[in-house]
Amino acid sequence: MPQDRGVTQSGLAIRRMSASSEPPPSPNVRTGPEYAKLIDISRCIGCKGCEVACKEWNELGIEPTENFGSMQSHRDLGPDTWLLMRFNEIEVGGDLQWLIKKDACLHCEEPGCLYACPSPGAIVQYENGIVDFNHDSCIGCQLCVSGCPFDIPRFNPATRKVYKCNMCVDRVEAGLEPACVKTCPTNAISWGTKEDMVTLAEQKVERLQARGFDNATLYDPAGVGGTHMMYVVPHGDQLGEYDLPADPKASPGALAALGGLRKLGASALGLGILGTALHYLGFGPQEPGAAEVPSNGVGGGTAPMSAGGESRPTVESQATGESSPTVPSPPTGETPPTGDPTGSTEG
């Protein structure tokens, strides 16, 4: 466990930051080790000590429990319930089994929540792998909830912010393990560097397989670049029953498309404005001829700006200055904002 691993201060250098085109501003040049938490489901006895420790350390409020015919404390995660032991009841070989899942943020290497977030810096990923919400910057849009392939963040309508497990980042920064790790009475939760945890997991999987859990496996899904909370799953063939997505993606189809398109869209609007400007320079304003309005004197009497200058020339002579009967292409040959080609203007 952590104490003999020489866990040092990791610092909080930032690796990724939501909605940011610039490289993340690192408040700290140190890059400490990358951490991971390993949940050995086969050792979990379902005591929910970790749930309590989580509430205590993070001073989370009470969300009333409810008896709905399950050992589970709450039906779902909540803004004040960052960790929920899910008791999935299934039958294996005529026997009742609890496929317990410690449901909380997995601290993905490629965090879908962070990629989905529109507010700069509302979600950050530190160099140590922890994904954290920065509530000062959160605008309460809840798009992270939809971006998370594990359905983890929860919205608090009162504060208009979204909450989830922060891996006890304050403890980790101080060289301590997260509260749930500390409290677990059966050592079902291990803590250390990502590398060490993967090695440990492989040993655990081997031992499980030797004991007859042929499908035992490590859950560290590649679709999100691996996670900083991993599971050793005894029944690896039943991920669905554990409520673990078999192939989670950091940026599901629509979000990936959006990511690719948004530069294009912003550029298109910029080009649209540029197009109208170039059109204006090429063709100028189209003023009603002054001579035709005896009563009104000036053609564009109600115009917001008199773009024509002192003497109001007729439309044709003003547009080009060359007064040729056919209209020449503008000097730049720009596409007009309607998107229709102007190049061919045979009068």
Partner 1 sequence: MSAPNDLKRFAYAERVIHWVAGLSFLFLLMTGLAFSHPRLFWITSLVGGGSTARFLHPWMGTLFTGSMVVMFFTWAKEMSIQDGDRAWLKSIKHYAVHDKDNVPPAGKYNGGQKLFFWSMAILGVAYIVTGIPMWMPGGFLGVGPFYGGVVNSMRLVHYLSTVFGGLLLIVHVYLGTIAYPGTLGGMLHGTVTNAWAKLHHPLWHKDQSG
Which residues within the stretch 182-221 sit at the binding site for ligand SF4 (CB under 6 A)? none
Which residues within the stretch 87-126 sit at the binding site for ligand SF4 (CB under 6 A)? 105-108, 111-113, 116-117, 119, 122-123
What end-to-end distance do the CA atoms of the chain give, in Å? Answer: 84
Which residues within the stretch 307-326 sit at the binding site for ligand SF4 (CB under 6 A)? none
* Residue 296 contact among ligand SF4, partner 1, none, beta carbon within 5 to 8 Å by kind: partner 1
* Residue 111 contact among ligand SF4, partner 1, none, beta carbon within 5 to 8 Å by kind: ligand SF4
> What is the closest distance, in whole angstroms, from the C-beta atom of residue 267 to partner 1 in the complex?
10
In single-letter form, the type of residue at position 305 comes to: M
* Residue 126 contact among partner 1, ligand SF4, none, beta carbon within 5 to 8 Å by kind: none
**Strands, E, within the chain: which ranges?**
14-17, 35-40, 84-92, 95-103, 123-126, 131-133, 154-156, 161-163, 189-193, 217-219, 229-233
> What is the closest distance, in whole angstroms, from the C-beta atom of residue 306 to partner 1 in the complex?
7
Which residues within the stretch 7-66 sit at the binding site for ligand SF4 (CB under 6 A)? 18
Helix segments in the chain, DSSP class H: 49-57, 112-116, 143-147, 169-173, 179-183, 194-210, 239-242, 253-283, 315-320
* 331, burial (CB in 10 Å: exposed 0-12, middle 13-18, buried 19+): exposed
> What is the closest distance, in whole angstroms, from the C-beta atom of residue 143 to ligand SF4 in the complex?
4
In single-letter form, the type of residue at position 315 comes to: V
The residue written with tokens 């879908």 in the block is: 112
Q: Is residue 167 involved in binding ligand SF4 (CB under 6 A)?
A: no
Q: Which of 38, 54, 148, 208 binds ligand SF4 (CB under 6 A)?
A: 148
